[in-house]
Amino acid sequence: MTMSSAKISAAIDNLKSVGVRITPQRHAILEHLIQSMSHPTADEIYKALEGKFPNMSVATVYNNLRVFKEAGLVKELTYGDSSSRFDCVTTDHYHIICDSCGKIVDFHYPGLDEVESLAESVTGFDVGRHRMEIYGVCPDCKRKH
């Protein structure tokens, strides 16, 4: 059993356990998210699967990404650009994004708990979470310029 098929089974069990029906479309979207190792947009997923599901509606992709999000399997990444990207939740990590080509690379760093607790004491908020992205130029683009 491969690494990603184990992840897929685990995700499917997770969904089943909260009463989500596993349709062929859902399976395929999940599989694509896990195997692609990238952070695709809804439209990229839609296009990647149109060979297998010529009749699938783009709404199905959006609907199911929402279902996966609600189940905690997927995170929606919203950067400045036009469309959201979707990331399978594995372990917590940040992202570093190339200003030149848009590539997104995972970046592991211990959670910034001190920042959260300071923010809490300074602002009086109950802090729940934070997000951080780092921007720069990736090695490939550095080489090209």
Interface ranges with its own copies (CB under 8 A)? 76, 78-80, 84, 94, 96, 98-99, 105, 107-109, 112, 115-116, 118-120, 122-139, 142
Which residue number, 21 or 131, has a Cβ lying nearer to its own copies?
A: 131
Q: For its own copies, which is the closer residue by CB, 43 or 81?
A: 81
DSSP state of 122: H
Selection from its own copies, DNA, none that 41 binds (CB < 5 to 8 A by kind) is: DNA
Cβ 64 to its own copies shortest distance, Å: 18
The answer to whether residues 109 and 68 touch, using CB atoms and an 8 Å cutoff, is: no
Three-class SS of residue 141?
A: helix
Q: Which does 70 bind (CB under 5 to 8 A by kind): its own copies, DNA, none?
A: none
The answer to whether the beta carbons of residues 115 and 130 sit under 8 Å apart is yes
**Taking Cα atoms as reference points, which of 7, 1, 3 lies closest to residue 90?**
7
Look at residue 23 and give the partner it binds from DNA, its own copies, none, a contact being a CB closer than 5 to 8 Å depending on partner kind.
DNA
Tokens 């372990």 sit at which residue? 91
Return the one option of its own copies, DNA, none that residue 59 interacts with (CB less than 5 to 8 A, by type): DNA
> Up-side HSE of residue 45: CA atoms within 13 Å toward CB?
32
